[in-house]
């Protein structure tokens, strides 16, 4: 605690960034699990569709099982008056909308990744300003005060980088995970499209 206090006021926003980043990482780790996104019940529903007569039952299942994947499946199963090309465009639009839902809160991690090192650098610059103020008053003879002030100034940069690096790793991991989910949902969507519009 003393180490954090020694970094000055800039440590406060850095602490807020660290708590916020940790909260988002935990939340995304829980909610971006495969079984929560690509729910087995929805996959079973997709596989059970054989003819247009199976569509009403599949739609009713999608209404019961909430989530981006079921929303996409429901979008595919309605508006059957559309042509295959129109339906394909509709699926792409719906897929982008559902992907945005999966990406929620990832922007927070991206911002923290950029802001934390800058806050750390700001704290270091402010600390160095204080050090030069001490030097101008006491001269260079106070080596202990100078080295102690320099160590305190560097703390914010160290803390800022220690927040930004794991946050960047988490952001990249979750972003890749969302891309993989989007790709799998697209593959299942095309599978249904081929069932609803069999090649002639």
Q: What is the pLDDT of residue 148?
A: 59
What is the DSSP secondary-structure string of 102-160?
Answer: HTTTHHHHHHHHHHHHHHHHHHHHHHHHHHHHHHHHH-TT-HHHHHHHHHHHHHHHHHH
Give the residue, 129 or 36, on which the prediction is more confident: 36
Q: Does the residue 132 lie in any domain? A: yes
Give 31-81 pLDDT, tens digit per residue. Answer: 998 888 888 888 888 888 777 777 788 888 888 888 888 888 888 888 777
Distance of alpha carbon 163 from alpha carbon 19, whole angstroms: 10
Helix (DSSP H) and strand (DSSP E) numbers for the chain: 9, 0
Q: Does the residue 55 lie in any domain? A: yes
Q: Does the residue 42 lie in any domain? A: yes
Instruction: Say yes or no to pLDDT of 99 above 60.
Output: yes
Joined together, the tokens standing for residue 6 give: 């020694």
Q: What is the pLDDT of residue 140?
A: 57
Give 81-98 pLDDT, tens digit per residue. Answer: 777 788 888 888 888 888
Supply the mean pLDDT for the chain: 82
Integer-rounded Cα Rg, in Å, for the chain is: 26
Instruction: Say yes or no to pLDDT of 189 above 90.
Output: no
Give the residue, 160 or 2, on which the prediction is more confident: 160
Instruction: Say yes or no to pLDDT of 3 above 60.
Output: no
pLDDT band at 133 (very low <50, low <70, confident <90, very high): low
Q: What is the pLDDT of residue 78?
A: 80
Number of domains composing the chain? 1
Query: Phi and psi at residue 141, in whole multiples of 5°?
Result: -70, -20
Q: Note down the domain range covering 114.
A: 2-194
Region 25-33 average pLDDT: 92
pLDDT band at 137 (very low <50, low <70, confident <90, very high): low
Instruction: Say yes or no to pLDDT of 107 above 90.
Output: yes
Q: What is the model's pTM?
A: 0.80
Q: Does the residue 199 lie in any domain? A: no
Q: What is the pLDDT of residue 7?
A: 58
Q: Does the residue 33 lie in any domain? A: yes
Determine if residue 8 is left, alpha or beta; phi over 0 gives left, psi from -120 to 50 gives alpha, anything else beta. Answer: left
Q: What is the pLDDT of residue 6?
A: 57
Give the residue, 148 or 171, on which the prediction is more confident: 171
Region 135-149 average pLDDT: 59
The answer to whether 17 touches 115, Cβ cutoff 8 Å, is yes
Distance of alpha carbon 83 from alpha carbon 120, whole angstroms: 56
The overall longest dimension of the chain from CA atoms, in Å, is: 90
Q: What is the pLDDT of residue 173?
A: 96
């Amino acid at each position: 605690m003393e180490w954090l206090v020694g970094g000055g006021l800039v440590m406060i926003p850095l602490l807020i960034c660290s708590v916020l980043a940790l909260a988002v990482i935990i939340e995304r780790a829980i909610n971006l699990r495969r079984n929560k996104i690509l729910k087995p019940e929805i996959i079973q529903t997709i596989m059970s569709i054989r003819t247009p007569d199976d569509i009403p039952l599949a739609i009713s299942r999608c209404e019961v099982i909430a989530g981006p994947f079921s929303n996409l499946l429901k979008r595919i199963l309605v508006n059957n008056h559309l042509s295959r090309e129109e339906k394909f465009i509709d699926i792409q639009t719906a897929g982008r909308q559902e992907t945005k839902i999966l990406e929620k809160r990832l922007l927070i991690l991206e911002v923290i990744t950029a802001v934390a090192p800058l806050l750390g650098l700001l704290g270091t610059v402010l600390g160095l300003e204080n050090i030069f103020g001490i030097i101008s008053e006491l001269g260079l003879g106070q080596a202990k005060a100078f080295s102690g002030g320099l160590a305190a100034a560097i703390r914010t940069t160290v803390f800022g980088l220690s927040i930004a690096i794991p946050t960047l790793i988490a952001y990249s991991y979750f972003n890749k995970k969302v891309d993989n989910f989007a790709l799998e949902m697209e593959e299942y969507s095309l599978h249904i499209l081929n069932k609803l519009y069999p090649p002639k």
